[in-house]
Amino acid sequence: MSEKLQKVLARAGHGSRREMEAWIAAGRVSIDGEIANLGDRVEADVKVRIDGRAISLKSADEVICRVLAYHKPEGEICSRKDPEGRPTVFQRLPNMRDSRWVAVGRLDINTSGLLLFTSDGELANRLMHPSNEVDREYAVRTFGEVPEAAVHRLRNGVTLEDGPAQFDSIKPAGGEGINQWWHVTLREGRNREVRRLWESQEVQVSRLIRIRYGMVELPKSLPRGGWLELPLDQVNYLRQVAGLEPETRSLLGNDKHSVARSKVKSAKIRRAVRKTKVSGGKAKPSRQRS
């Protein structure tokens, strides 16, 4: 049975469905030597190229949906390449054959914390759609006094330049002196929304860390710049949120050898992170294939 080209490309991990639609519209994709058009459907035996490079098409049964949790440091940008040479969130991730990681949303350069990547562009596309309203939790450090009236307004709604906005919850989380920590949640993913909400009350944000995406929490043992692969139950939680069929396979095992390999991999990640810090913060692409 034929499927839409952008869906097949997204599922294979070449990007989100929206990205694939843009590539097709720009003439970057061909089918059997002819420039593809939006709406084209493909069979398994056609030859598809992206920018002249042949790619392998995979059926839904051949693709294993994988998800990584990445602890993004401040100073990294959520792009594959940067003209200014700044480090990107993709540089530390493990390489994959015939596919690539797709980011689920973005964090701005000055925000750290949990960022998810998946090999399934369709999953990323659906999770990023506003209709899903996945709640996100952030730890926020503010500088200066925060009046109770401002907290009340942030909880009940304010008007930003792109429309009404509010935190679903806002709770104090300790702090010293004029540095106060808060935990806030919201279900939208508008650009810099957390910072802009605080700025609307003339409150300065000095640290911003995403600590949860839906039911997936930032692992406390995961160092900044480190990643780990989510187990099948968490992958299927995300697929359920996105309205997709559950995945039945995983590259992670439950046997003792798999656990040992996982511990070795975690140790390698920590060493790589420390090495990057010592060398001045420039990350190099991971050599590890997975």
Active site residues: 108
Distance CA(153)–CA(97), nearest Å, equals: 49
Distance CA(106)–CA(198), nearest Å, equals: 19
Distance CA(105)–CA(235), nearest Å, equals: 16
In contact, 111 and 160? CB cutoff 8 Å? no
Which tokens belong to 274?
């420390």
HEC secondary structure over the chain? CCEEHHHHHHHCCCCCHHHHHHHHHCCCEEECCEECCCCCEECCCCCEEECCEEECCCCHHHCCCCEEEEEECCCCECCCCCCCCCCECCCCCCECCCCCCEEECCCCCCCEEEEEEECCHHHHHHHHCHHHCCCEEEEEEEECCCCHHHHHHHHHCEEECCEEECCCEEEEEEEECCEEEEEEEECCCCCCHHHHHHHCCCCEEEEEEEEEECCEECCCCCCCCCEEECCHHHHHHHHHHCCCCCCCCCCCCCCHHHHHHHHHHHHHHHHHHHHHHHCCCCCCCCCCEC
